[in-house]
Amino acid sequence: MARAKDVLTELQARRDWRTALEYFRWMKAQPGFQHSAKLYTGLIHFLGREGQPHAATLLFQEMLLERQRPSHYAYTGLLNAYGRAGMIDDALEVFDYMRGCDDDSCRPNTVTCNVLLGSLCKACRYEKALEVFADMRDPHGPLADRCRPDIFTYNVLVDALCRGGQLDAAAALLHALRVGGLEGGAVRPNVVTFNTLIDAACKAGRAAQAEELVAAMAGQPGVRPDVVTYTALIDAYGKAGLVAKAQAAFQKMRAAGLRADVHVYTALMTACGRAGDVEQAEALFNEMKRMHMKPT
RNA sequence: UACUAGAAUCUGUAUU
């Protein structure tokens, strides 16, 4: 028998939050039925991800009315919903509440802080972002060692620096991560760290730097170029009019055993189109259709 | 509580 969580998982995969809410309501209307705190939490996260902060708020309030105690997961989900929607003041309010919470299970952790940090950076609230980051690093500070920066934290910062045009600072941060690591050597770069900088370098017209970084990935344990890496390169080559290089990168990606997705196909098709090679673009499109490729 | 969160948070294409 299908459980509520499985149904909701499927609806999340389809990104159908309306049906998910409907289903949730229907379940709740069954006599004697009570949703668990985890189910509420899961749906709050889903709604937040789908850019529905209002619906997330209502569900959170309903959760309280149903006497389900929200954990830090639930608060973080709500914070994420606000942060993604640019409702920074609301996000900060949730964060402050969590920070002052007596109940240990509601206190912010590294993920909570990462969500907030990302929201602040996206809203260009850098001063506040740095304040949060400093608190995360201070074991005796208000966050008391539960929020030590991890690689997600640094990836948010690298991304913020890149988007702010501070490519050199971002590169310096990646370098520090690569050489000895940060947080006492505990934090090392992952594929996202590299990809973030590679894409920024590509978009800044620094192809050589991007290629150097791709080569450097091999020297980092557990890191190797993925489809995102190749998409960044192919996009850059295409926009620079270097279709042959774009094609070569695509072949190299396949030779590495990586599965092409919609993004990389689109990038390569666009590159072909720009270069006037409509036939090749069409061939790629047909290939995509044959593979029944789904948006990711 | 029973390694017990059900995708909690980071990067790429196109449209703008």
**Residue lying closest to nucleotide B14, CA to C1':** A266
State residue A3's pLDDT score.
78
Q: Which of A32, A61, A58, A36 is nearest to A47 (CA)?
A: A58
Nucleotides of B under 7 A from a protein CB: 5-14
Rounded Cα distance, A189 and A280, in Å: 37
State residue A175's pLDDT score.
97
The ipTM is 0.85
In tens, the pLDDT along A147-198 reads 999 999 999 999 999 999 999 999 999 999 999 999 999 999 999 999 999 9
Nucleotide nearest to A3 (CA to C1'): B6
Determine the distance between A264 (CA) and B13 (C1') in angstroms.
6
pTM of the model: 0.94
**Residue lying closest to nucleotide B13, CA to C1':** A263
State residue A1's pLDDT score.
55
Mean pLDDT of A13-39: 93
Mean pLDDT of A213-230: 97
| pLDDT grade for A135, boundaries at 50, 70 and 90 | very high
Q: Which of A108, A165, A163, A164 is nearest to A136 (CA)?
A: A108
Among positive and negative, which fits the CA dihedral A69, A75, A76, A80?
positive
